[in-house]
Structure 1
């Protein structure tokens, strides 16, 4: 085992150790004498690696992982964790799937081998495949009753017209019905391999013991299989306003969703003719993470607190909207900045125009020192509250190691505090154009 190369993104002291085991598996360990241990296993096998015809496979596999192995029948893993007072869950996104367990430290030797067995030796039984597919199909159908989900998926399809980020993580009913257990086993054996996996252990276990436990739990990887690969095509740049109108029956409030593309972590390293969603104005000298944190600050300034600009004007003063929010999401290949408003349909055109006007004003009338100070305080406090427990730390390290590098996790407060008023003005000008965005308008039939 050895320590990996130093981070290109962070120079802050990192409290955990990052190790590469002999089989290529990455282990991140931090000793926290708390009486509990959090284990979070991250796999670079999210929806982005699916070919279009296999859309939804990564999320469906997340369900099937818990259907057991030759040594663990379906349901036995959950019962074993619960009987020891622990908790477990999993999630799938575009860039990753991850599986996490929190347990008392004395039960780690019982629980970690069970988790490793599930991830390495998933059986994916035919009968369980058919039953669990019905569960996933019901998840998809439930989104049909959620106007916000419908609008957001339409927005992503508009922004990412060819890239996998534009597809639903859940997939579609039609494509899931075409899939087979054999294909899922191929997907699993192709992507759930040690060089694609990071095990994060934070809690009351020393490093040597953590290494021993992980070696024991993740030692018998199966021979990789090949499977269908994602085929990425050049993404058309967002150079105009892409607007789409949707109509739903019995919709109580109209929706306005707007989105702007920004570079992801990988973007500066690629060439301008890349298949990545972000193509124009790539600057290899820019730090995508610093830009991302600046966009988080802009999100807070615009619409993430009662005193933010859009909330104050559109909801409190003018009473044009029932609610308005903003957000920024960083991913490996693209970031996305969104603004959403819930309002009466007759106000849609006026509110969209006002939002565009306020974005233009951020370029000519920049953020004030007071607004910047409030946003920094809110974000740094949120960060502090999200790093209090071993499970929170394990999730934080795993997320950053998957999309960038783990030690970036601890640089967040410093990077937020380093953002200046001039940075925000430049970021607004560079990324939040009132003339280049995607918009979804949703009204009642």
Structure 2
């Protein structure tokens, strides 16, 4: 398949999946991802994937903490890691000439980390500071509160960084046991975007990963739960603005309608010229920040609305958001052909930008691989765009914008 890029998909005997993307570029990007994230954690494990993500930078059998981070720096590019609901990912983006060094270092980190107890205790402090810091940020805190309200059993009610109680209690053996069970080749995918031939990439990955032993994976299931359709107010000291959040889940939305939802979401709240942005900021000057945040990941399927306003404007803002949603569902907001064509063009532009950028392309392909989705799904999306019309947008709005969880965060001296 070479219409957009030249790819090769290989699975080694130990179960490790390698996806090599060959394109004209001087910048290579390497992502290694494990299909283990916070959605798979048990009650007493909350935050363990995120903790392990931090610890893999803290030294290996071969390298001390300082040596590891110095060698990462010497590659001369960018290195990073993140944990989300379904995965833990490590990445390096650098010149193509650094591909082998990058693969070797990532191999050492992901296979040979030692979880030194002194480093573990230091990093525990860092993570606890991260958890506490999120409570001081009203945006982070608002997301945390609405998730706690919306879900009773789903892991989505917990933040990926974990809970203070669990992070404080993790011991070296807890992290090592979890790591050894889940950070294994048959739970891992590696994506490399570079100008190197596929054969060379496979040869390099085999050199540093082929003797990694596969293990039997524990069956970790997660709970799918619709959001609770409730409204609550939280009172917090020492805040200047109030925040308003809505949360919708859409697990029952057919896969083929997710593309339509992407287009609707862009027009509704994702862009700087969205319906919500124009109503709340441009027309009335009620808010500086107003946006939607959507996650189409398998097992997640969430759409949030977020804004921050003055305390006196909370009721007015809630009414405007509700009215915007109802006006779409009742087709009072008109999506004409010009608007729909623009939304389609924006989506095509986003796809093109992803394909052109080695780092973005690598991240996209890894995400698709970890969710067992087609890496060329975007090609089908581009084809399907031609058949979407305004009726589809109204239909998906009526399916998704129902029974929200609504949370309002206000200062303790506010009267609502």
TM-score by length of 1: 0.85
CA contact (8 A) 1:397 1:409 kept: no
- Partners of 1:351 and 1:379 in 2: CA distance: 29
CA contact (8 A) 1:198 1:398 kept: yes
Matched, 1:327 2:315: no
Residue matched to 1:358 = 324
Matched, 1:156 2:122: no
Q: Specify whether residues 321 and 14 from structure 1 end up closer, same or farther in structure 2 by C-alpha distance, changes over 3 A only.
A: same
Structure 1 residue 223, shift from structure 2 partner: 6.6
Structure 1 residue 163, shift from structure 2 partner: 0.8
Matched, 1:31 2:15: no
Q: Which runs of 5+ in 2 are unaligned?
A: none
Residue matched to 2:57 = 66
- Partners of 1:298 and 1:35 in 2: CA distance: 36
- Aligned with residue 432 of structure 1, among 388, 396, 401: 401
Structure 1 residue 410, shift from structure 2 partner: 4.2
Residue matched to 1:21 = 12
- Aligned with residue 247 of structure 1, among 235, 241, 257: 235
- Partners of 2:322 and 2:282 in 1: CA distance: 19
The C-alpha deviation readout for 1:217-256, integer Å capped at 9, x for no partner, is: 11333574888x7674573x44x63112112222111111
Q: Specify whether residues 207 and 333 from structure 1 end up closer, same or farther in structure 2 by C-alpha distance, changes over 3 A only.
A: same
- Aligned with residue 368 of structure 1, among 307, 330, 336: 336
- Partners of 1:201 and 1:431 in 2: CA distance: 36
Residue matched to 1:216 = 207
- Aligned with residue 391 of structure 1, among 356, 359, 374: 359
Residue matched to 1:340 = 306
Residue matched to 2:114 = 123
CA contact (8 A) 1:189 1:223 kept: no
The C-alpha deviation readout for 1:16-63, integer Å capped at 9, x for no partner, is: 121111211111001123233211111101111211111000011001
Residue matched to 1:313 = 279
CA contact (8 A) 1:155 1:257 kept: yes
- Partners of 1:360 and 1:327 in 2: CA distance: 19
Aligned length: 409
Matched, 1:299 2:265: yes
Matched, 1:262 2:250: yes
Structure 1 residue 86, shift from structure 2 partner: 2.6
- Aligned with residue 423 of structure 1, among 383, 392, 399: 392
Structure 1 residue 111, shift from structure 2 partner: 2.7
- Partners of 1:203 and 1:396 in 2: CA distance: 15
Greater Cα offset, 361-370 or 142-151: 361-370
CA contact (8 A) 2:4 2:355 kept: no
Residue matched to 1:279 = none
Structure 1 residue 212, shift from structure 2 partner: 0.9
Residue matched to 1:266 = none
CA contact (8 A) 1:189 1:222 kept: no
Residue matched to 1:181 = 172
CA contact (8 A) 2:38 2:47 kept: yes
**Secondary structure of 2:199's aligned partner:** helix
CA contact (8 A) 1:86 1:104 kept: yes
Q: Specify whether residues 111 and 301 from structure 1 end up closer, same or farther in structure 2 by C-alpha distance, changes over 3 A only.
A: closer
Alpha-carbon RMSD: 2.4
Structure 1 residue 83, shift from structure 2 partner: 1.7
Q: Specify whether residues 111 and 334 from structure 1 end up closer, same or farther in structure 2 by C-alpha distance, changes over 3 A only.
A: closer
- Partners of 1:398 and 1:416 in 2: CA distance: 24
Greater Cα offset, 214-223 or 38-47: 214-223
Matched, 1:193 2:181: no
